[in-house]
Amino acid sequence: MSTINENEIACCVRKSVNKYLHDLDGEKPCPLYNMVIHSVEKPLIELAIKHTNGNQTQAAELLGINRNTLRNKIKQYKIK
């Protein structure tokens, strides 16, 4: 079984946020926390659903969240 190294994910986030902040060139940034969470959460949910062939119960278990929470996130992000 292959696992993703958490340090790789953290490195990608650091690099992306650092570039975002650098590219602002003096402009005021949007709230970073919400921007990062929303940027990561939707593709994470999409991948979990794809990995479980659309089985929401298994996807929720894979993500470590409640199935109702997953359903709310699917609706929030308009995931099909």
With beta carbons less than 8 A apart as the criterion, state whether 45 and 74 touch.
Answer: yes
With beta carbons less than 8 A apart as the criterion, state whether 31 and 42 touch.
Answer: no
Q: 9 in helix, strand or coil?
A: helix
| Domains identified in the chain and CATH numbers | 6-77 (1.10.10.60)
80 residues of the chain, pLDDT tens digit each: 566 666 898 999 999 999 999 999 889 999 999 999 999 999 999 999 999 999 999 999 999 999 999 999 999 999 98
pLDDT score of 65: 98
Which residues, other chains included, contact 62 with Cβ-Cβ below 8 Å and sequence gap of 6+? 48, 51, 52
Helix boundaries (H) for 3-66: 6-23, 32-51, 56-63
Q: What is the DSSP letter of 32?
A: H
pLDDT score of 3: 66
pLDDT score of 4: 67
pLDDT score of 2: 60
